[in-house]
Amino acid sequence: MPIQYPDPFLEIRIDHLDLPLPLRGLCAGYEGGQWRSSQLADHLFNWLPYAALNQEHQLSFGPSNFVELIKLAAAHIYHTKKTASRGEIGELLFHLICILHYGTVPVICKLLLKTSSNDTVKGFDGIHLVPMQNGFELWLGESKFYLDGKDAIREAVASIKEHIAPAFLKTEKAMVIGHVGEDIPHRDEVIKLFKSQTSSDKLIEKSVFPVLIAYESRTVAGFDNLCQDYVDKLTKELEELRAYFSDKASDIKLRFRLVFVPMNKKKDVIDSFDQKLVPFL
């Protein structure tokens, strides 16, 4: 039985899929003259069970056990009311955007691997699969939830360089191989890519590297409604960030996809999300 995911909330505003750096920009929009921070937090909270619970729990989610399972999911996020970065929100965004806006199949939800409350997820922030007509692509993702878009890009590029190093990939493969779900398409081929006997070069060759950048946008802050001028200015802003990424990652020969989620105030999203999560901690 397929998992029934929540409906989409973010809307695609910019969709430039031309190579070598495909770019997609999604935003929450406005309501009553205000950027929809609390509604975005609602959407993130609705996705919590689908990013922090295993498939068995996801399929059993319902009116009779939703409180118990949300508490279990919340325990995989954090137990304190505040942390400095709230990187888990970036991971949630990455997870739901891949599924809803790119049609991926999650191979493993990294939040499930956290060994203690407030632990951070090591390695790639998400591992997804895209079924193709002749096989599949693996998506090895990086997400950043930052104040400044360029700071986020610099950190994302640094993380990717670290994560594709042979020694790091050896550890990542060993961690992932035992957690590939039974119903994953092309499961045997996926597992083979993560075996220690398989060269990490083959894993990289089969992979696309999506990079999600959620950041405070000057364009979002400068408007109170959706209009063509907003789209035009946001397009220019995202093209500038794409050029910045291209410069910073010029020495990395990988297949990237850039996903931007421009925000007004990051703190407003965190505060609204915390208000919903704290009662379940």
Q: What is the largest CA-CA distance in the chain?
A: 57
- Which tokens sit at 29? 């929009």
Element containing residue 213 per DSSP (H, E): strand 207-216
- Which tokens sit at 204? 């990289």
Check if the beta carbon of residue 109 is closer than 8 Å to that of residue 99: no
Q: Is 237 left (phi over 0), alpha (psi -120 to 50) or beta?
A: alpha
Check if the beta carbon of residue 220 is closer than 8 Å to that of residue 263: yes
pLDDT number for residue 208: 97
Query: Who's near 253: CB < 8 A, 6+ residues apart?
Result: none
Q: Which residues of the chain have pLDDT under 50?
A: 79-82, 84, 115-121
Write out pLDDT tens, residues 157-166: 999 999 999 9
* CA nearest neighbour of 56 among 77, 72, 43, 78: 72
Going along the chain, which residue ranges are E strands? Answer: 11-16, 23-27, 30-31, 34-35, 105-108, 126-132, 135-145, 207-216, 256-263
Element containing residue 64 per DSSP (H, E): none
Amino acid 153 reads: I
pLDDT number for residue 236: 97
Write out pLDDT tens, residues 43-98: 999 898 888 766 666 666 666 676 777 777 777 676 444 454 567 899 999 999 99
Check if the beta carbon of residue 51 is closer than 8 Å to that of residue 95: yes
pTM of the model: 0.91
Give the strand order in the sheet containing 135-145.
Answer: 11-16, 23-27, 256-263, 207-216, 135-145, 126-132, 105-108
- Which tokens sit at 199? 């060269």
Going along 39-118, which residue ranges are E strands? Answer: 105-108
Q: How far apart are CA 222 and CA 187, in angstroms?
A: 47
pLDDT number for residue 271: 94
